[in-house]
Structure 1
Amino acid sequence: MTAKKNAKIAADLITEKALAALANCNSLRSMHDTSKKLITEHQLGLAFDPKRNNSFEMPTGLLICNMAESIRTALDADAVQGFASAYLAGDYVEPMGVVAEGGKLRVVAGFARYAGLMMAIASGADIKRVWVTQVEGGRAKELVRQLVSNQQVQASPLELAAAYRELIEVHGFSVGDLATAIHRKEAHIRKMLSLDSVAPEVKEMVAKGQASVTAVLTADKHCKATGQDTVVHMRDQLTKAQRNGSAKITSKSVGAPAALYGRKDLDVAAPVLVQLADQLEKAIPFMAAAPGSVKVELTLDGSAMNLQDLTQALANLRAAFLTAQVGSALIADVG
């Protein structure tokens, strides 16, 4: 009978009685309880039906934690210390995600928070109770919760790849399902999963921060297309980077070609090049009529230009031209 009555009431109904009752509420709990009562009395529509999450303040003595269940291979020491400081100061810390099992609370999300809590207690903090939220749905939900946790310290690419792979291969997620669940783009997920295709030695470079995921995947694709060994190539690149004083492979650290000339080079050299072009244009008819050597006269006024800048500008332009020729030859060889 109640369900039928509620169905006839507009979802956005709010009567004068409801407005007056809610105006006297000064806490979320009172608003929750009052709204529930008003809906039962048909003074509020179901659009105002409040929901409570599954957060609870529970005894710390009931917490258990198995770090092997974390997607992380190692906790960030600074993050753990930060959580410990927050617990010691009595500051707000986002609740850990737990599963109730056999009278214990198994931590499934918030491993750095748990480690920080234990550190704070070991430092003398008297923390008898802590806020936790219940995670339901098994291992798949636990992994997703770890991946989207607001205070989760950013996991490494390899850790993300392993978690994504488990959700897809073990728990039946598609790439699209996973992207929706963790609020990331499909391209990001596919990129992390592609790490599985590179050699372990190259993955280790990513783990050590010696190369980015993009750099590794780009190099691997290029090496496979040209028949090169990716491991050898990446080791050579790392050696170049280290020789240039960098611990990471980047276009700059390995001496990748940069722009050899800029606007200033063109501005400095342009007057001379235009003068040369004018002289050549005048000489073309003579060369056409009587092929042979033609003398071109070029007059430079040292007082009107900085000859040192001109020398450098011309050198830069020449180097750019030669580099372009070498690049064209390489492309022709590959083709």
Structure 2
Amino acid sequence: MEKGGRKVLGKGLRALIPQGTESSPKEGGVILCPVEKLRPNEDQPRQAFDEAKLRELAESIRANGVMQPILVRRLDGGGYQIIAGERRWRAARMAGLAAVPAMVKEASGTRMLELALIENLQREDLNPLEEAEAYRQLVEEHGLTQEELSARVGKQRSTVANTLRLLKLPEEVRRMLLTGELSMGHARALLSLGSAAEQLALARRIVSGKLSVRSTEDTVRSRPGAAAAKKSSKTRRYGPAEQRLVEELQRRLATKVEISSRRRGGKIVIHYFGLEELDRVVNVILGN
């Protein structure tokens, strides 16, 4: 219908949303919230946003609007903090929307992180490392046990424990996992290696050689002395001076190093994966 030359809204989003307003929202109610009054959650699990996919979502929102309300909680100083839906909020701003549908939820810090994590897991939006960091926050900062966490996210405790182990990988390897250069399958294979230096060396080889998960697993199983290394790693103990030397060599060479001391000498063993890795190690030693 027309009234005074302007089209009257029919069964659009405003007609479908209950009559909560931005100034008087009710728990669980949906409001139209100005985008500038929404604040992202610094602790939310999702840390990486693909710009190309954001632009695609922005185009969809420009054409169809935001189909699913963003989950938010009220802030004491005014405005709202996003619990789940930051990607939709970013895309809506990119699309030029002035307001977005939002569902108001009262939630503590712990519950807020849980909701954000669960929503992202259900949508399969999280990178494995983002998932691991969210688990860590819930366990270390909010006091959940791994059993409680597994029950709340609907995953087996072993799955939660294995995901948390990703945080033990070297920083460079974690960065590869976060950017998608390495998959969860690659990471699982790397975790079976005995040292951070080995993990880093093989991770670099995976990326440069575009190794599949199967090839990576085969490399781990077939590396020289794999069985013996697994057994000896439990029994070898270094003195303080040797330990510092091993760690320094591994840091500089980015590969596994072992020292075997005897009464009148000893030997240093430097591990490598393939000829390309050998060339790299030799160049480091020669200072090239």
Return the alpha-carbon distance in structure 2 between the equivalents of residues 333 and 61 of structure 1.
56
1:214-251: CA deviation from partner (whole Å, max 9, x where unpaired): 4434443342xxxxx332354146437634xx2x4533
Shift in CA distance, 240/183, structure 1 to aligned 2, threshold 3 Å: closer
Aligned to 1:120: 95
Question: Within 5 Å, which residues of 2 pair with 1:248-287?
Answer: 248=211, 250-252=213-215, 256=219
Return the alpha-carbon distance in structure 2 between the equivalents of residues 60 and 332 of structure 1.
63
Shift in CA distance, 237/103, structure 1 to aligned 2, threshold 3 Å: closer
**1:204 aligned to which of 175, 179, 201:** 175
Is residue 85 of structure 2 the alignment partner of residue 136 of structure 1? no
Contact 1:95/1:133 (8 A) holds in 2: yes
Is residue 147 of structure 2 the alignment partner of residue 184 of structure 1? no
Shift in CA distance, 143/78, structure 1 to aligned 2, threshold 3 Å: farther
**Taking structure 1 as the reference length, what is the TM-score of the superposition?**
0.51
Q: CA deviation at 1:115?
A: 0.3
**1:146 aligned to which of 94, 107, 116:** 116
Amino acid at match of 1:81: R
Return the alpha-carbon distance in structure 1 between the equivalents of residues 198 and 93 of structure 2.
44
Aligned to 1:194: 165
**2:63 aligned to which of 89, 93, 97:** 89
Aligned to 1:271: none
Return the alpha-carbon distance in structure 2 between the equivalents of residues 333 and 194 of structure 1.
21
Shift in CA distance, 257/81, structure 1 to aligned 2, threshold 3 Å: closer
1:155-193: CA deviation from partner (whole Å, max 9, x where unpaired): 112211111111111112122222222223322211111
Contact 1:202/1:231 (8 A) holds in 2: no
Q: CA deviation at 1:145?
A: 1.5
Q: CA deviation at 1:105?
A: 2.0
Return the alpha-carbon distance in structure 1 between the equivalents of residues 106 and 71 of structure 2.
10
Return the alpha-carbon distance in structure 2 between the equivalents of residues 333 and 54 of structure 1.
57
**Taking structure 2 as the reference length, what is the TM-score of the superposition?**
0.58
Task: Count how many residue pairs are aligned between Structure 1 and Structure 2.
Answer: 205
- If each structure's helix is expressed as a fraction of its own residues, which one has the higher value? 1
Aligned to 1:169: 140
CA RMSD of aligned residues (A): 3.7
Shift in CA distance, 236/152, structure 1 to aligned 2, threshold 3 Å: closer
Return the alpha-carbon distance in structure 2 between the equivalents of residues 110 and 333 of structure 1.
47
Return the alpha-carbon distance in structure 1 between the equivalents of residues 153 and 230 of structure 2.
42
Unpaired runs of at least 5, structure 2: 1-14, 16-25, 232-288
Contact 2:66/2:100 (8 A) holds in 1: no
Bigger Rg, structure 1 or 2: 1
Shift in CA distance, 195/60, structure 1 to aligned 2, threshold 3 Å: same
- The sequence identity of aligned pairs, in percent, is 20
Q: CA deviation at 1:61?
A: 5.1
